[in-house]
């Protein structure tokens, strides 16, 4: 009997469909060995040697796996094809080889006189085999079984180094926050805290932004060749001097450029309108062909961004659904930085496009994409369907899946297949209209001449059709309209835009974005309001504290450089010097903060209400699960109650106050304050009508 070990029961069930008798597939049910939760678990005096344990809840499963393995003629490790999967395979091999013998991740000589512990490269190669596949299909599984390999210790080292570094930061910095901010549920992390800082700094910039009013002037004109088609154009310039002006702001995370008008008052605008003189004529008509190539197939990051924008999925939900699709065999591995596609898929996609949409949609040769990430890692392919012929329309939905799985699959299918179609062609037209005294109006339009890849992924652009005009042709002014505008600050981050920013700045890795965004919301550092990420007062306090005393780990370039150093370990660089270079200065900062930082007190809003238990004052406090009302004399009086946050709107059904509520998963919505008598609810304020 050959034993194959995977992480999940779903993956085990899918593999069992492709392998015949003689194979037993068992699931480890996730990680079976890890650093202890109750202590640091890293020996900082001896090359940061980790002390792994089998958690209590996993001991029974480990005993079962050892029993099955003892009767197996061969053990095959089939964990996921990334660094975490490689580390899980190494842990399994270590436990099955000798659960009582610790096995270190380092192959480096010992230091400080401590004897080096054997690493997994010294495990007997014939005691286990490692197989790697990026899709759970019969051909991929059978091919992997025919070509087994050993655990790649470079990937194990890379994963363990990242795990050890994050443990050192989290288990050292978090207790400091507990002591200095008097809240034992706070946490800090090397990447998590930088992500919160991005959100906090953006909010500071928004609050500091000075709004202003400006105006544009629109003219509607009637070409002589048409009695019904109206040409609407915006005033662009006078005697060659444009009215548009650009303002560039230097921000914490880059620059932000806003374009406004130099017309700043209605008096100025009305004076311009009074000065514009007829006659009007077409002074320029520019027509050009614009070609737009299809986007690359999805990586982990771009999938999270697109599903957030188009499906309103959180990053966490996206990854959960993608995990299910992968384990059921519908898509390739979903943790990847690569935009490559296999030769097999390229051939199948080209054949499908030619037969389904026609040869005119098929480019002369296959389309290849180049990975933009400086340190691309993980799987060797982009996220794609395993079967080109299974579209969203004929997707077979298992009983444990739902419509959301179909929607995400369809998004992945369209992006991957569409990437191999021809580019879309647009006819772009620009028309300028000049007055007799030097004022120039402009209008732009575009029409899809050939839809190309848009035929597959859907039309995501608006067409603007302009009436036919020729240079020198006189037009009749129908009206001039003054349009007021308000300058706006840079937008708050959404999950999608935050993920994009983290990736662009090389902060963290795509597989970590979803848990980071979930954690900062669970810790009450950030709340999601109408899809926007807004920092709480606690988020401001923690960020300001960390920036003051730990400027290095809160610095974007430093964090990006640290990520690059960790990635170099996967290429064979030693990991201990990387950890040491970070840890020593970090501990100096810890000493400074421990000795010099005073306790930070969060401001509490006082209510004009007395405590019903003791008569003391009531205040609004922030706890592990959000804001609540408590007695100001705590701990003498422990009175608390839920905080009902009202907004200045009434229920359209019964007229009661609308209050802010949260789902079980922490998502904010608006509901009637008289619930359950009235069940009105809405996700957005604009839906309350």
Using DSSP's 3-state secondary structure scheme, residue 29 falls into coil
Order of strands, edge to edge, in the sheet holding 23-27? 23-27, 2-6, 74-77, 129-130
d(CA 123, CA 89): 13
In this prediction, residue 203 has a pLDDT band, given cuts at 50, 70 and 90, of: very high
| Residue 664 within a domain | yes
Alpha carbons 72 and 98: distance in angstroms, whole number? 16
- The secondary structure of residue 661, as a DSSP letter, is E
What tokens appear for 571 in the block? 């290429």
pLDDT of 247 strictly over 70: yes
Instruction: Please list, in sequence order, all residues whose beta carbon lies within 8 angstroms of the beta carbon of residue 589, skipping any fewer than 6 positions away.
Output: 549, 550, 552, 553
Confidence at residue 664, expressed as pLDDT on a 0 to 100 scale: 67
In this prediction, residue 317 carries a pLDDT of 95
- Is residue 380 very low, low, confident or very high in pLDDT (cuts 50, 70, 90)? confident
Say yes or no: 40 and 132 in one domain. Answer: yes
DSSP string, 354-392: HHHH-GGGS-SS--------TT--B-SS-B-BS-TT--S
CA 413 – CA 354 distance, rounded (Å): 16
Name the pairing type of β-strands 474-486 and 280-292.
antiparallel
CA proximity to 177, closest of 583, 599, 535, 540: 599
Q: Is 88 within 8 Å of 28 (Cβ atoms)?
A: yes
Instruction: Supply φ then ψ for residue 631, to 5 degrees.
Output: -75, 135
Quick check: 634 and 660 in contact, CB under 8 A? Answer: no
314 vs 495: CA distance, rounded Å: 7
**The pLDDT value given to residue 379:** 55
Residue with tokens 């286990």: 128
β strands within 161-279, DSSP E: 213-222, 231-238, 241-242, 244-251, 254-261
What's residue 107's pLDDT? 36
For residue 11, the tally of other CB atoms under 10 A from its CB is 21
Residue 244 CB neighbour total at 10 angstroms:
14
**Distance in angstroms (rounded) separating the CA atoms of residues 52 and 164:** 11
- Gap between the Cα atoms of 249 and 204, Å rounded: 13
| Residue 194 sits in the same domain as residue 334 | no
Flag whether pLDDT at 376 surpasses 60: no
Question: At residue 685, does pLDDT exceed 70?
Answer: yes
pLDDT of residue 285: 95
Give the span between the Cα atoms of 499 and 198, in whole angstroms.
11
Q: What is the pLDDT of residue 623?
A: 76
For residue 470, give the CATH number of its domain: 2.70.20.10
Task: For residue 659, give the nearest of 674, 639, 637 by alpha carbon.
Answer: 674
Question: Which range is least confidently modeled, 87-101, 329-343, 345-359, 417-431?
Answer: 87-101
Give the helix ranges, DSSP H, for 458-523. Answer: 495-504, 510-522
Percent of the chain scoring above 70 in pLDDT: 93
Asked whether residue 346 is assigned to any structural domain, the reply reads: yes
Same domain? 65 vs 125:
yes
> Quick one: which of 177, 196, 201, 195 has its CA closest to 187?
177
Highest mean pLDDT among 181-185, 210-214, 382-386, 526-530: 382-386
- Let me know whether 31 and 92 are in one domain: yes
- The CATH number of residue 9's host domain is 3.40.50.140
- The encoded tokens of residue 244 equal 């548009």
Residue 91 banded pLDDT, cuts 50, 70, 90 = very high
Q: Is residue 158 part of a domain?
A: no
Query: Does 683 share its domain with 587?
Result: no
Q: Is the dihedral of CA 664, 666, 669, 675 positive or negative?
A: positive
From 596, 622, 655, give the residue that closes a domain.
596
Vertex 492: Cα angle to 643 and 606 (nearest 5):
25
28 pLDDT more than 90: yes
Burial class (CB in 10 A: 0-12, 13-18, 19+), 407: middle
pLDDT band at 113; cut points 50, 70, 90: very low
pLDDT at 177 over 70: yes
Query: Does 289 lie in the same domain as 430?
Result: yes
Q: What is the CATH number of the domain that holds 500?
A: 1.10.460.10
Q: Are 111 and 126 in contact (CB under 8 A)?
A: no
Instruction: For residue 160, count CB atoms less than 10 angstroms from its CB and return exposed for 0-12, middle for 13-18, buried for 19 or more.
Output: buried
| Alpha-carbon dihedral sign for residues 533, 539, 544, 546 | negative
Higher pLDDT, 152 or 229: 152
615 burial via Cβ count (<10 Å: 0-12, 13-18, 19+) = exposed
Structural domain count of the chain: 6
Closest CA to 163 of 499, 500, 512, 546: 512
434 in the same domain as 571: no
Q: Is the pLDDT of residue 108 over 50?
A: no
Q: What angle do CA 165, 338, 340 make, to 5 degrees?
A: 160
Question: Would the pLDDT of 106 be above 70?
Answer: no
| DSSP run (H or E) holding 267 | helix 266-275
The edge-to-edge listing of strands for the beta sheet with 605-610 is 605-610, 617-623, 626-631, 640-642
Find the mean pLDDT for residues 88-105.
67
When pLDDT is averaged across residues 17-26 and rounded to a whole number, the result is 91
Residue 159 lies in a domain: no
Catalytic residues: 333
Residue 543: which domain range? 164-208+494-596
What average pLDDT does range 523-537 have in this prediction? 91
Residue 157 placed within a domain: no
> What CATH number does the domain containing 384 carry?
1.10.290.10
CB 506 within 8 A of CB 560: yes
The answer on 611 and 585 residing in a single domain is no
DSSP string covering 87-153: HHHHHHHHHHH-TTS--BS--SPP-TTPPPPPBGGGS-GGG-EE---SS-SHHHHHHHHHS-B---H
Helix (H) or strand (E) holding 14: helix 9-16
- Residue 8: C-alpha distances to residues 27, 28, 360 (Å): 5, 7, 44
Distances (CA, A) of 546 to 85, 444, 501: 33, 49, 21
The count of residues in the chain is 689
Distance CA 385, CA 351 (A): 15
Return all residues near 344 (Cβ < 8 A) that are at least 6 apart.
none
Residue 156 included in any domain: no
Strands (E), 145-239: 213-222, 231-238
Same domain flag for 360 and 387: yes
Instruction: Tell me if 526 is assigned to some domain.
Output: yes
Kindly state the average pLDDT of the residues 651-655: 91
Residue with tokens 């240079």: 471
687 φ/ψ angles, rounded to the nearest 5 degrees: -85, -5
pLDDT at 392: 85
Residues 471 and 585 placed together within one structural domain of the fold: no
Q: Does 55 fall in a domain?
A: yes
Mean pLDDT of the chain: 89
**Residue 277, pLDDT above cutoff 60:** yes
Compute the distance between CA of residue 93 and CA of residue 87 in angstroms, rounded to an integer: 10
Q: 471 and 524: one domain?
A: no
Mean pLDDT of 651-665: 84
pLDDT above 50 for 114: no
* pLDDT of res. 104: 32
Q: How far apart are CA 689 and CA 222, in angstroms?
A: 39
Same domain, 435 and 288: yes
Q: With 90 as the cut, is the pLDDT of residue 54 above it?
A: yes
Q: Is 279 helix (H, G, I), strand (E, B) or coil?
A: coil
Express each pLDDT in 579-591 by its tens digit: 999 999 999 999 9
């Amino acid at each position: 009997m050959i034993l194959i070990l995977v992480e999940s029961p779903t993956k085990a069930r899918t593999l069992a469909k492709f392998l015949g008798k003689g194979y037993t597939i068992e699931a480890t049910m996730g990680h079976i060995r890890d650093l202890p939760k109750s202590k640091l678990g890293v020996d900082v005096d001896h090359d940061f040697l980790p002390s792994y344990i089998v958690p209590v809840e996993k001991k029974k499963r480990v005993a079962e796996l050892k029993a099955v393995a003892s009767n197996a003629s061969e053990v095959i490790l089939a964990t996921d094809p990334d660094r975490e999967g490689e580390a899980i395979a190494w842990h399994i091999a270590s436990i099955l080889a000798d659960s009582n013998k610790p096995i270190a991740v380092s192959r480096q000589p010992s230091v400080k006189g401590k004897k080096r512990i054997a690493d997994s490269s010294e495990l007997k190669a014939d005691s286990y085999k490692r197989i790697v596949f990026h899709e759970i299909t019969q051909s991929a599984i059978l091919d992997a079984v025919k070509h087994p390999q050993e655990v790649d210790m470079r990937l194990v080292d890379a994963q363990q180094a990242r795990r050890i570094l994050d443990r050192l930061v989290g288990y050292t910095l978090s207790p400091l926050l507990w002591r200095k901010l008097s809240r034992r549920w706070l946490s800090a992390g090397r990447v998590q805290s930088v992500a919160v800082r991005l959100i906090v700094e953006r909010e500071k910039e928004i609050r500091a932004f000075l709004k202003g009013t400006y105006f544009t002037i629109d003219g509607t004109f009637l070409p002589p060749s048409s009695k019904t088609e109206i040409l609407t154009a915006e005033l662009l310039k006078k005697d060659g001097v444009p009215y548009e002006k650009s303002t560039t702001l230097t921000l914490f995370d880059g620059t932000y450029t806003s374009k406004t008008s130099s017309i700043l008052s209605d008096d100025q605008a009305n004076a311009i309108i009074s000065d514009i003189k007829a006659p009007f004529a077409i002074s320029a008509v520019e027509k050009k062909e614009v070609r737009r190539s299809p986007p690359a197939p999805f990586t982990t990051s771009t999938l999270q961004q697109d599903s957030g924008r188009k499906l309103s999925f959180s990053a966490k939900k996206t990854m959960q659904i993608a995990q299910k699709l992968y384990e059921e065999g519908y898509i390739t591995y979903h943790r990847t930085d690569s935009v490559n596609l296999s030769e097999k898929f390229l051939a199948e996609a080209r054949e499908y496009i030619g037969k389904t949409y026609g040869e005119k949609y098929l480019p002369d040769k296959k389309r290849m994409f180049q990975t933009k990430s400086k340190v691309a890692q993980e799987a060797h392919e982009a996220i794609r369907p395993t079967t080109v012929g299974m579209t969203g329309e004929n997707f077979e939905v298992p009983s444990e899946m739902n419509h959301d799985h179909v929607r995400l699959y369809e998004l992945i299918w369209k992006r991957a297949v569409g990437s191999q179609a021809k580019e879309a062609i647009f006819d772009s037209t620009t028309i300028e209209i000049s007055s007799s005294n030097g004022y120039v109006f402009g209008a732009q339009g575009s029409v899809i001449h050939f839809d190309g890849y848009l035929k597959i992924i859907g039309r995501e652009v608006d067409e603007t059709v302009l009436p036919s005009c020729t240079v020198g042709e006189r037009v009749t002014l129908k009206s001039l309209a003054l349009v007021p505008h308000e300058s706006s600050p840079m937008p708050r981050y959404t999950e999608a835009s935050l993920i994009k920013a983290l990736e662009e700045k090389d902060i963290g890795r795509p597989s970590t974005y979803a848990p980071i965004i979930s954690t900062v919301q669970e810790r009450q550092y950030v709340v999601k309001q109408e899809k926007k990420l807004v920092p709480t007062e606690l988020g401001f306090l923690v960020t300001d504290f960390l920036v003051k005393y730990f400027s290095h780990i809160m610095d974007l370039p430093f964090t990006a450089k640290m990520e690059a150093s960790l990635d170099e370990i996967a290429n064979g660089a030693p990991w201990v010097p990387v950890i040491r270079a970070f840890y020593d200065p970090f501990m100096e900062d810890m000493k400074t903060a421990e000795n010099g930082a005073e306790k930070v007190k969060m401001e509490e809003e006082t209510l004009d209400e007395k405590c019903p238990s003791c008569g003391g004052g009531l205040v609004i406090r922030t706890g592990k699960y959000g804001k609540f009302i408590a007695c100001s004399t705590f701990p003498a009086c422990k009175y608390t109650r839920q905080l009902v946050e009202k907004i200045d709107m009434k229920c359209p059904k019964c007229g009661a106050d609308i209050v802010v509520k949260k789902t079980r998963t922490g998502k904010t919505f608006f509901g009637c304050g008289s619930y359950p008598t009235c069940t009105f609810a809405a996700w957005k304020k604009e839906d309350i009508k």
